[in-house]
């Protein structure tokens, strides 16, 4: 992206990449022998690439919405999730903060005070001044929902939700500022390929197989040395590298930019499926009023130790939307099987009601006898 913008602004740009291909962690690859399918190898969703930036870069890429962002433990979280009034209030605060802050990502960096001035006082306190753990404890009474929000704050960081450095708050902000997380049609490789085409068209020189081994800079000009013995002189060097790698290239022992090697905390499991799973939470959806009552009652009492017996978890599962059955059209045979299963379940339920009512009547009948 930087190469496109700088080349278009009239700079002579050269990109040095040590691998035989560009894209970094935003690439597609054929991962399974004998299967002709390319999947997003690491990074797979797009959020911070705003429509404004896409049009400025002239990218032609299609993004597809995901109806659900989360599925675990019988919990499905979608954009339209009805998580009760507390969750709605939290999400509303986040959405307003994102609307205020997101445009600033494309502007010259603002000062902290200027940025805070864009936010409502509640958002300032919850996101910028106190650890997320405190904000979540105040805003949400349900542990399950706190966990859902905290995921976006802790992923990829080695922070705890209560850390005073507020790294977790910053991570949350980066996750929510761009709004939805969409799937690039054609995988991340399609996006990286489009960026590469635009950069070349703008006149940038892209060199693969060029590993940088050292950067010497005196504040006015720089020399970049490569593993093959070549070097490049430049007025500016923009390094898209982990801070520790940059420190090493600059010859800093253990620099202000961190330790001597980058540390990661992510594992990605890539799968190829014959068909998409039909995601459904285990609990049945109840009526809205009953859900609200359950959540209010649950919020008023302490959470018992056993997770499955946690009434708040049950209430929340029920609050979140079911996957649309219509998303994956059923075959006629599957429809018949489902109708049969629904009929059998209903018959069992009716039989259970009859048995319960017989048991209730039995003592009075015995007394009469």
Ligand X SMILES: Cc1cc2nc3c(=O)[nH]c(=O)nc-3n(C[C@H](O)[C@H](O)[C@H](O)COP(=O)(O)OP(=O)(O)OC[C@H]3O[C@@H](n4cnc5c(N)ncnc54)[C@H](O)[C@@H]3O)c2cc1C
Report how far apart, in Å, the C-alpha atoms of 162 and of each of 143, 153, 271 are.
15, 11, 34
CA–CA separation, 250 vs 237, rounded Å?
11
Give the torsion through C-alpha atoms of 335, 352, 285, 147, to 10 deg: -120
Cβ 269 to ligand X, closest distance in Å? 10
- String of b and e for 191-200 (b: at least 16 CB within 10 Å)? bbbbbbebbe
CA–CA separation, 23 vs 195, rounded Å?
9
Cβ 44 to ligand X, closest distance in Å? 5
Q: Residue length, the chain?
A: 369
Measured from the CB atom, is 26 or 154 closer to ligand X? 26
Measured from the CB atom, is 137 or 213 closer to ligand X? 213
Spatial CA neighbour of 103 closest among 145, 150, 51: 51
Measured from the CB atom, is 7 or 319 closer to ligand X? 7
Cβ 240 to ligand X, closest distance in Å? 4
- Interface with ligand X (CB under 6 A): 16-19, 24-26, 42-45, 211-212, 240-241, 245, 266, 268
State which residue has the least CB distance to ligand X: 24
Tokens for 280, please give them: 């459904």
Cβ 255 to ligand X, closest distance in Å? 15
Measured from the CB atom, is 45 or 105 closer to ligand X? 45
Q: Other CB atoms closer than 10 Å to residue 184's CB: what's the count?
A: 23
Cβ 43 to ligand X, closest distance in Å? 3
Measured from the CB atom, is 17 or 125 closer to ligand X? 17
């Amino acid at each position: 992206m930087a190469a496109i913008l700088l080349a278009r602004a009239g700079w002579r740009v050269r990109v040095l990449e040590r691998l035989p291909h560009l894209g970094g962690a935003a690439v597609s690859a054929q991962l399974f022998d004998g299967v002709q399918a390319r999947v997003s190898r690491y990074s797979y969703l797009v959020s911070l690439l705003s429509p404004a930036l896409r049009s400025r870069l002239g990218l032609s890429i299609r993004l597809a919405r995901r109806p659900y962002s989360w599925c675990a433990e019988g919990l499905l979280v979608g954009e339209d999730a009805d998580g009760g009034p507390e969750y709605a209030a939290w999400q509303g605060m986040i959405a307003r903060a994102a609307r205020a802050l997101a445009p600033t990502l494309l502007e010259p960096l603002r000062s902290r005070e200027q940025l805070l001035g864009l936010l409502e006082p509640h958002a300032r306190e919850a996101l910028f001044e106190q650890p997320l753990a405190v904000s979540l404890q105040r805003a949400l009474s349900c542990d399950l929902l706190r966990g859902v929000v905290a995921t976006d704050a802790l992923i990829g960081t080695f922070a705890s939700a209560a850390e005073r450095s507020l790294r977790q708050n910053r991570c949350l902000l980066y996750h929510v500022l761009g709004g939805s997380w969409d799937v690039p049609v054609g995988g991340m490789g399609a996006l990286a390929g489009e960026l590469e085409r635009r950069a070349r068209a703008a006149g940038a020189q892209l060199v693969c197989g060029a590993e940088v081994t050292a950067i010497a800079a005196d504040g006015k000009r720089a020399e970049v040395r490569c593993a093959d013995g070549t070097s490049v002189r430049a007025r500016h060097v923009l390094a898209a590298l982990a801070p520790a790698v940059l420190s090493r290239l600059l010859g800093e022992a253990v620099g202000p930019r961190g330790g001597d090697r980058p540390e990661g905390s992510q594992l990605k499991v890539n799968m190829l499926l014959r068909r998409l799973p039909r995601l459904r939470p285990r609990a049945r959806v109840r009526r809205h009023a009953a859900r609200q009552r359950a959540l209010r009652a649950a919020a008023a009492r302490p959470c018992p130790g056993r997770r499955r017996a946690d009434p708040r978890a049950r209430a929340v599962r029920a609050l979140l939307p079911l996957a649309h059955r219509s998303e994956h059209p059923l075959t006629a045979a599957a429809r018949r099987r489902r109708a049969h299963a629904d009929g059998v379940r209903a018959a069992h339920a009716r039989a259970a009601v009859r048995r319960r009512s017989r048991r209730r009547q039995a003592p009075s009948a015995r007394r009469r006898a």
